[in-house]
Amino acid sequence: MENLWVQIGNYGFPMVVAFYLLVRVEKKLDDLTAAIQALVQTLNRAAPG
């Protein structure tokens, strides 16, 4: 039983931290994608036709 807690401590915590960071990065990538799309639309409207 003690070995189980050691394994959870060794692998569980890093997995939780990695998952948390991936979720944060995904949100920032979504925001960046939206900003780039808005910039493209703005540049297309401003370009002489």
What value does the mean pLDDT of the chain take? 90
Q: Is the pTM of this model over 0.85?
A: no
Q: How many structural domains comprise the chain?
A: 1
State yes or no: pLDDT of 9 exceeds 90: no
Flag whether 40 is in a domain: yes
Q: Note the pLDDT of residue 49.
A: 61
Residue 41's domain comprises 16-49
Buried-exposed string 22-41: b where 16+ CB fall within 10 A, e elsewhere: eeeeeeeeeeeeeeeeeeee
Residues 29-44 have pLDDT tens digits of 999 999 999 999 999 9
Q: Is residue 4 assigned to a domain?
A: no
Q: Give a yes or no: residue 33 inside a domain.
A: yes
Determine, yes or no, domain membership for 39: yes
> How many other CB atoms are found less than 10 A from the CB of residue 45?
8
